[in-house]
Amino acid sequence: MSKVEKAKYTAEAQAGFNHRTAMEEAARCLLCHDAPCSEGCPAGTDPGKFIRSIRFRNAKGAAETIRENNILGGSCARICPYDRLCEEACSRCGIDKPIQIGKLQRYAIEQEKIFKMKTLKAPAKKMKEKVACVGAGPASLACAAELAKAGYKVTVFDREEKAGGVMTYGIVPTRLPQKVVDHDIAQVKGLGVKFVLGKKVKPAELEAFDAVFVGVGLWGAKVPPIKGTNLKGVYAAADFLKQARTKKTFKPGKKVVVVGGGDVAVDCAVTAKLLGAEDVRIVYRRTLEEAPGNMTEFQYALSLGIGITTNMAPSSVLGTNKVEAVKFKGRPKVTESSELKLEANTVVFAIGQGAEDFSELAPVKLTEKGMIKATAKGKTSSKKYFAGGDIVNGGKTVVEAVAQGKSVAESIMNYLSKKEGVN
């Protein structure tokens, strides 16, 4: 039997670079004139530029390059799918292996924090227009930061006690420690952005603003239409992760089954294991090769003793008042004759999130799925309302939310300055 790695729920799974290892990795960079890695970042960060700064021992220059393009550079350094973005485009792929861009970005931001560097500065002269950002997730934070850098007065509203959205309440600390999120948010606050947290914003409050960005995310519970999902112990992924992050006494039970094959499913399984569950299993309806989750995260889950079963889909949840087991059926044309029954104290469905009803908050047109209908630039059906992030795109990566928040900020600035071409 393999030795299971022991770890705490709040302990980061992977160590970062120290000064020596960062220099060694940066020295591997080919310093490409037309660095292809720079084309692979949705947020527009220039890895070639900040790696060059690290290579020549200019940590502040590296941090400035990152922050100028991605206000959430510290968080993205932990959770960005680098292997499918900038690292995949790295010129060294054809030689040996790509530069570890994510870990170098992490190093630069850690240096920023250690030495209390001031990397961003808001203009002294402020615009008269005021903008509200509803929701304090990645898209809203990026939008707020871009507007603040341009001199606009921005207020971020969120019903939760802490800012960060999915970064604070939806990602396991082993991947993204809260101190990293807090440091990123401090950069937003440093630009003069005001935060109103712990209460729902009222429509009347938004009337005082010249423009409104809606980035409320997807927090609605999503479970499959099968028997037993109303039993005690059955969770949607977002609810499960939020409970784990906010309730110190939260215990998932001895046996936990997680349904899904994405990063969120892995986060739920790892969370359950680190909170004391003895038997944790991920069950996915397709093969592991088809799973959207990061393979590195799956490997970490396996190192903790978490089992993975593929080609099985849930057919029913069993129990009287609380969940006792889950039944699965095999994948059509693959294992369709197979059946599986797993005992469980807790079942988590990590199969996506849905939109909550916020029709009273924002007078905008919605899609059939309840998400906001918006253009590529974030323009909605209501004149001064803009939207971005998961509530528009259905749930993508944090770095993509940052990119969209920046893009919509530009659209808002065009609207406020009465410029043409907002589409």
Could you say which of 90, 114, 138 is where a domain stops? 114
- The model's confidence at residue 6, banded by pLDDT at 50, 70 and 90, is low
102 and 246 assigned to the same domain: no
pLDDT at 360 over 90: no
Residue 422 lies in a domain: no
* E-only strand ranges, 35-74: none
**CA–CA dist 140, 234 (Å, integer):** 30
SS3 317: strand
What's residue 421's pLDDT? 46
37 and 108 assigned to the same domain: yes
**CA–CA dist 209, 161 (Å, integer):** 23
Residue with tokens 């359950």: 272
Residue 339 lies in a domain: yes
Average pLDDT over residues 102-108: 98
For 152, residues 6+ apart whose C-beta sits below 8 A from its C-beta are 126, 127, 129, 130, 131, 413, 416
* E-only strand ranges, 305-395: 307-309, 312-319, 323-330, 339-343, 346-349, 385-387
Residue 201 lies in a domain: yes
Average pLDDT over residues 352-372: 88
181 and 198 assigned to the same domain: yes
Strand partners, 386: 213, 379
Burial zone of 109 (CB within 10 Å; 0-12 exposed, 13-18 middle, 19+ buried) = buried
**CA–CA dist 35, 381 (Å, integer):** 39
Model confidence over 396-419: pLDDT tens digits?
Answer: 899 999 999 999 999 999 999 985
CATH number of the domain where residue 141 is located: 3.50.50.60
What's residue 372's pLDDT? 95
62 and 135 assigned to the same domain: no
**CA–CA dist 387, 407 (Å, integer):** 11
- Which residue in 112, 135, 105, 125 sits closest to 186, CA to CA? 112
Which two tokens mark 159?
């019903």
Burial zone of 357 (CB within 10 Å; 0-12 exposed, 13-18 middle, 19+ buried) = exposed
Which two tokens mark 347?
């079942």
Domain residues for 277? Answer: 234-349
CATH number of the domain where residue 43 is located: 1.10.1060.10
Tally the domains of the chain. 3
**CA–CA dist 379, 377 (Å, integer):** 6
- The model's confidence at residue 3, banded by pLDDT at 50, 70 and 90, is very low
Average pLDDT over residues 369-374: 93
What's residue 419's pLDDT? 54
| SS3 per residue for 244-302 | HHHCCCCCCCCEEEEECCCHHHHHHHHHHHHCCCCEEEEECCCCCCCCCCCHHHHHHHH
Residue 228, Cβ neighbours under 10 Å: how many? 19
**CA–CA dist 298, 287 (Å, integer):** 13
Question: pLDDT higher for 382 or 333?
Answer: 382
Residue 177 lies in a domain: yes
184 and 240 assigned to the same domain: no
156 and 255 assigned to the same domain: no
Give CB contacts under 8 A, 24+ apart, made by 47-53. 47/86, 47/99, 47/101, 47/104, 47/105, 50/104, 50/105, 50/108, 51/26, 51/99, 51/101, 51/104, 53/108
Beta strand 307-309 with 312-319 is unpaired
Model confidence over 18-49: pLDDT tens digits?
Answer: 999 999 999 999 999 889 999 989 999 999 99
Q: Where are the alpha helices (DSSP H) in 150-177?
A: 166-169
Strand partners, 189: none
Can you state the angle between helices 263-274 and 237-246, rounded to 10 degrees?
Answer: 40
Model confidence over 45-74: pLDDT tens digits?
Answer: 999 999 999 999 999 999 999 999 999 999
Residue with tokens 């393999």: 2
Residue 226 lies in a domain: no
Could you say which of 57, 82, 114 is where a domain stops? 114
pLDDT at 7 over 70: no
Residue 169 lies in a domain: yes
pLDDT above 70 covers a percentage of the chain that reads 97
339 and 362 assigned to the same domain: no
**CA–CA dist 141, 156 (Å, integer):** 8
104 and 32 assigned to the same domain: yes
Could you say which of 114, 147, 181 is where a domain stops? 114
195 and 250 assigned to the same domain: no
- The model's confidence at residue 357, banded by pLDDT at 50, 70 and 90, is confident
239 and 303 assigned to the same domain: yes
244 and 173 assigned to the same domain: no
**CA–CA dist 264, 171 (Å, integer):** 7
pLDDT at 85 over 80: yes
Residue 122 lies in a domain: no
What's residue 33's pLDDT? 87
Residue 11 lies in a domain: no
308 and 370 assigned to the same domain: no
Instruction: Look up the pTM and report it.
Output: 0.93
